[in-house]
Amino acid sequence: MNKALLEQVIEICVNAGEAILEVYHSSTELEVDTKADNSPVTAADLAAHKILAPALAQLIEGVPVLSEEQEIPSFEERSRWQRYWIVDPLDGTKEFIRRTGEFTVNVALIDNGEPVLGVVYVPVLDITYAGCKGNGAFKRTESGETDIHVRPLKPRLAAGEAVELVASRSHGAGAVDELVERIESKLGTAVCKNMGSSLKLCLVAEGAADLYPRLAPTCEWDTAAAQAVVEAAGGTVVDDQFQLLRYNSKDSLLNPYFYVIGDTSFGWQELLASKYTVN
């Protein structure tokens, strides 16, 4: 996977982010509609989709685009796709509506179920997280570009430092609280920071957090781009059976519960595989 393709995807994501910010900073009242699954959608979601879908479709001949903001093809059709782009034009619509700034543009290239290239763009901060298989991951800001890597946990535990988790602000709080208690009983102090959108995965990728447990529903377009970044940065994303999270393998686009793990050499499985309950 070459850097030139990654740069093209970044440029497309930045363009979509600019369209989102036009709505975000507009003086007119934000109109929010509700989709069939009761999730919110705004003019910004649709504006970003209209930029992303046609631009990505032109990058690699014959590679289709699957976007949250379009009619979803049947699994019979999707199952024939070896490679495809998966897009969340505005991940974190609830955060967009709340004007927290914690929303992103997500684009990933899937190859045989694996996210092999991903871009997560944060419009409000003008920050890009990007990575591709075999070429590592980086974070780009106004001040420059830095390679990013997950961080080791064992030296931090030996120094008495806290295990740092990130979690959703809106979903699965009861199960995460239980997990934090279990980690503290085994490893010592654990702290949890709540945040919206795929930024949570990116914090693990850049070594700013150790674990992101997602014990609530998500869709494949919510995770694919940031998972590509995490894996390129040396981490992993596994389901609640500790199998690698993979894509386009079933009719439903819902993900299983999953864990984003920074230090893959640490023995997380025994701790995380314990039964959890959702309040």
Q: Are residues 175 and 124 in the same domain?
A: no
Do 60 and 92 lie in one domain? The reply is yes
Each residue of 212-259: pLDDT tens digit?
Answer: 999 989 999 999 999 999 999 999 999 999 999 999 999 999 999 999
Residue 34, classified by CB atoms within 10 Å of its CB into exposed (0-12), middle (13-18) or buried (19+), is exposed
Same-domain status, 165 and 143: no
**278 within domain boundaries:** no
Q: Are residues 181 and 232 in the same domain?
A: yes
- Strand 163-168 relative to strand 144-148: parallel, antiparallel, unpaired? unpaired
Claim to verify: residue 17 and residue 114 sit in the same structural domain: yes
Residues 137 and 54 grouped into a single domain: yes
- For residue 173, the model assigns a pLDDT of 65
Model pLDDT, residue 170: 62
Amino acid at 173: A
- 142 belongs to a structural domain: yes
The model's pLDDT over 76-94, given as tens digits with 9 standing for 90+, comes to 999 999 999 999 999 998 8
Asked if residue 194 and residue 119 are part of one domain, the reply reads: no
The mean per-residue pLDDT over the stretch 30-40 comes to 76
* 104 assigned to a ligand binding site: no
CA distance readout (Å), 118 to 17, 126, 156: 16, 16, 29
Task: Tell me: pLDDT of 188 over 70.
Answer: yes
Residues 120, 238 share a domain = no
Mean pLDDT of 169-185: 80
93 is in an annotated binding site: yes
- pLDDT(272) > 70: yes
What local confidence, expressed as pLDDT, does residue 1 receive?
59
CATH code of the domain containing 55:
3.30.540.10
The annotation status of 92 as a binding-site residue, yes or no, is: yes
Distance in angstroms (rounded) separating the CA atoms of residues 214 and 229: 17
Instruction: Judge whether 111 is annotated as a binding position.
Output: no
Instruction: Say if residue 239 carries a ligand binding annotation.
Output: no
Residue 104 shares a structural domain with residue 198: no
Q: Is the pTM of this model over 0.85?
A: yes
**Residues 130 and 223 occupy one common structural domain:** no
Is 178 domain-assigned? yes
- Which among 148, 171, 198 is the end of a domain? 148
Q: Would the pLDDT of 276 be above 50?
A: no
Considering the domain architecture, whether residues 202 and 180 belong to the same structural domain is answered as yes
Residue 122, in any domain of the structure:
yes
In a domain, 199, yes or no: yes
Q: Is residue 277 part of a domain?
A: no
Q: Worst-scoring range by mean pLDDT, 122-136, 180-194, 265-279? A: 265-279
- pLDDT for res 153: 96
Query: Are both 99 and 20 inside the same structural domain?
Result: yes
Question: What is the number of structural domains in the chain?
Answer: 2
Q: Which one of 148, 163, 192 terminates a domain?
A: 148
Residue finishing a domain among 148, 172, 202 = 148
Residue 68, annotated ligand binder?
Answer: yes
- Provide the pLDDT for residue 2: 76
pLDDT at 70 over 50: yes
CATH code for the domain in which residue 164 is found: 3.40.190.80
Instruction: Inform me whether the pLDDT recorded for 277 exceeds 90.
Output: no
Residue range of the domain that includes 91: 3-148
| Per-residue confidence band for 161, with pLDDT thresholds at 50, 70 and 90 | very high
Percent of the chain with pLDDT over 90: 78
**pLDDT reading at 163 higher than 50:** yes
Convert the pLDDT of each residue in 195-208 to its tens digit. Answer: 988 999 999 999 99
For 140, phi and psi rounded to 5 degrees? Answer: -120, 125
